[in-house]
């Protein structure tokens, strides 16, 4: 692709859907819906701009190593997998949720999480969970899972979970409750630092459009 081309790394799902209005504000529209297409590289109405569809946790890696000029990643991904080496000019205020500790209903979390105590925590965010409980002086055994987090305490695999919570409906359906707030999560624009220098005019135009649309 020519030097004035731009590659945007995005993940499917909620982030992609909530990114569409931002892309539209920058005059960019995908040629296909990634939810319906098997393609991992998607053209847009601009021949010099393409989208690459990757796992949410891989967005920072593609941008850091220059396989994408910029992308959109959740704060959870940036904390857990590292946002080092990336320019993060904008909190886009999309895909908002909360990182929470949740336990089975009736579990005495206050007593179980005193300094010096030990808990088994199931999560796909081991770094975030470990840092949170270390700050409380609580010893934790981290159990890394990739999905169905709510099941872990129900079958005795863990005492609690650390996970993203949006409406809380999934927790309620599985007789769990959120008991501690760790941090608020939203999605950020992440930019490759070399691309920002080499393609500054084109990238800045997109950043400005995103900024105006997000505010």
pLDDT in 10s for each residue of the chain, 215 residues: 446 799 999 999 999 999 999 999 999 999 998 888 899 999 999 999 999 999 999 999 999 999 999 999 999 999 998 778 899 999 999 999 999 999 999 999 999 999 999 999 999 999 999 999 999 999 999 999 998 999 999 999 999 999 999 999 999 999 999 999 999 999 999 999 999 999 999 999 999 999 999 87
CATH of the domain at 204: 3.40.190.10
- pLDDT value, residue 3: 67
Angstrom distance (rounded) from CA 90 to CA 41: 24
Q: What is the pLDDT of residue 35?
A: 86
Task: Give the model's pLDDT for residue 94.
Answer: 94
Query: Does residue 175 fall inside a structural domain?
Result: yes
Please tell me whether residues 191 and 144 are part of one structural domain.
no
Domain count, the chain: 2
Q: Please check whether residues 32 and 67 belong to one and the same domain.
A: yes
Q: How far apart are CA 76 and CA 191, in angstroms?
A: 17
Q: Are residues 49 and 88 in the same domain?
A: yes
Residue 19, φ and ψ in degrees, nearest 5: -85, -25
Asked whether residue 47 is domain-assigned, the answer is yes
Per the domain annotation, does 43 fall within a domain? yes
Q: Give the domain range for residue 193.
A: 6-95+186-214
| pLDDT of amino acid 214 | 85
Same domain, 179 and 202: no
Domain shared by 104 and 177, yes or no: yes
Task: Give the pLDDT of residue 169.
Answer: 94
Q: pTM, whole model, 2 decimals?
A: 0.88
Q: Are residues 203 and 149 in the same domain?
A: no
Whether residues 163 and 195 share a domain: the answer is no
In a domain, 61, yes or no: yes
- Is 1 among the domain residues? no
- Say if residues 93 and 19 touch (Cβ distance below 8 Å): no
Co-location of 178 and 203 in the same domain: no
Q: Is residue 42 part of a domain?
A: yes
Residues 52 and 29 in one domain: yes
Rounded Cα distance, 172 and 132, in Å: 23
Question: Are 87 and 190 in the same domain?
Answer: yes
Query: Do 47 and 116 lie in a common domain?
Result: no
Distance CA 74, CA 59 (A): 9
210 is a domain residue: yes
Instruction: Examine the domain organization and report whether 51 and 88 are in the same domain.
Output: yes
Q: Which of 106, 107, 158, 154 is nearest to 129 (CA)?
A: 158
What does the alpha-carbon distance between residue 213 and residue 205 come to, in Å, rounded to a whole number? 12
């Amino acid at each position: 692709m020519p030097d004035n081309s731009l590659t945007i790394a995005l993940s499917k799902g909620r982030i992609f859907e909530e990114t569409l209005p931002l892309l539209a504000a920058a005059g960019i529209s995908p040629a296909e819906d990634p939810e319906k297409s098997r393609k991992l590289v998607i053209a847009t109405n601009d021949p010099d701009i393409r989208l690459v569809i990757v796992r949410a946790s891989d967005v920072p890696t593609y941008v850091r190593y220059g396989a994408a000029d910029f992308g959109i990643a959740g704060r959870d991904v940036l904390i857990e997998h590292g946002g080092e080496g990336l320019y993060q000019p904008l909190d886009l205020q999309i895909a908002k949720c909360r990182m929470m500790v949740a336990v089975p209903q009736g579990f005495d979390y206050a007593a179980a999480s005193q300094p010096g105590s030990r808990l088994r925590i199931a999560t796909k965010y081991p770094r975030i969970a470990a840092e949170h409980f270390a700050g409380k002086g609580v010893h934790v055994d981290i159990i890394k899972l990739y999905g169905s987090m709510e099941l872990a305490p129900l079958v005795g695999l863990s005492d609690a979970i650390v996970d993203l919570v949006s409406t809380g409906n999934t927790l309620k359906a599985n007789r769990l409750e959120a008991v501690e707030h760790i941090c608020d999560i939203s999605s950020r624009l992440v930019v490759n630092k070399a691309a920002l220098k080499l393609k500054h005019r084109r990238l800045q135009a997109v950043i400005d459009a995103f900024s105006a649309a997000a505010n």
